[in-house]
Amino acid sequence: MAIRAVIFDMDGLLIDSEPIWEEVGKAVLASYGQVLTHEQYLTTTGLRTREWLEHWFNYFSIDEGLLPAAERQIIMGVINAIGIKGKAMPGVGHILDYFSSKGLPIGLATSSPLAMAYKVVQLLGIHPYFKVLTSAEHLPYGKPHPQVYLDCAEKLGIMPADILCFEDSVNGMVAAKAAKMKCVVVPAFAQRQWPAWGLADLRISSLQNFNDLLFYQLDK
């Protein structure tokens, strides 16, 4: 099927926020006397904040009654930190200009709260590129469940099979593929050799590297 729209993930793909999420998340867990390693953190990227906390609270046997306060602490901490030191990932301007020049509608499908998505696109000056912003914040399930991608497709008015997605996490990639969309992954350097990326339609090292040759390979 022809590509008629594009959907982007946000954290770690458009904005260099994964180090911020990791820093804030680790600090919150440390406040409960627990130490999270970088390797452990990588296994849960792409999850919603509540799901991320539920996973690690269960792992470290932390009282789940403390979850709501911890969730608020993380979200506010990340929003504040993004406002101070958030920066675009390499190639963001290139990729948005590329698809905009082709006249393709562009959407965003994130696990982060919608308020954070608006803050990010405004901070990076990329809000005009997006026709639709969607969040899994209040959905019954987040990524790797496909619902946030299906919701974005519905709001774009495009069939899922005609949409190309860009992701940087395994959970996000699984969500996109479960929605029957094509998916390009841009893994972090330390994750590029993970076997799981074999599910993707294409793997690239940077958004800056996407070009006509790759587009026409996918547009079949």
Q: Which residues are catalytic?
A: 9, 11
Edge-to-edge order in the sheet of strand 202-203? 132-135, 106-110, 5-8, 163-167, 182-185, 202-203
Q: Among candidates 22, 6, 7, which has minimal Cα distance to 190?
A: 22
Q: How far apart are the C-alpha atoms of 49 and 158, rounded to whole Å?
A: 29
Angle at 75 between CA 72 and CA 79, to 5 degrees: 135
- Name the strand (E) or helix (H) holding 39: helix 38-42
SS3 (DSSP) at 109: strand
Q: Which tokens is 140 given?
A: 């019954």
| Inter-residue contact 15 to 87 (CB < 8 Å) | yes
Q: Residue 28: which H helix or E strand, with range?
A: helix 18-30
Separation between Cα atoms, residue 69 and residue 206, nearest integer Å? 36
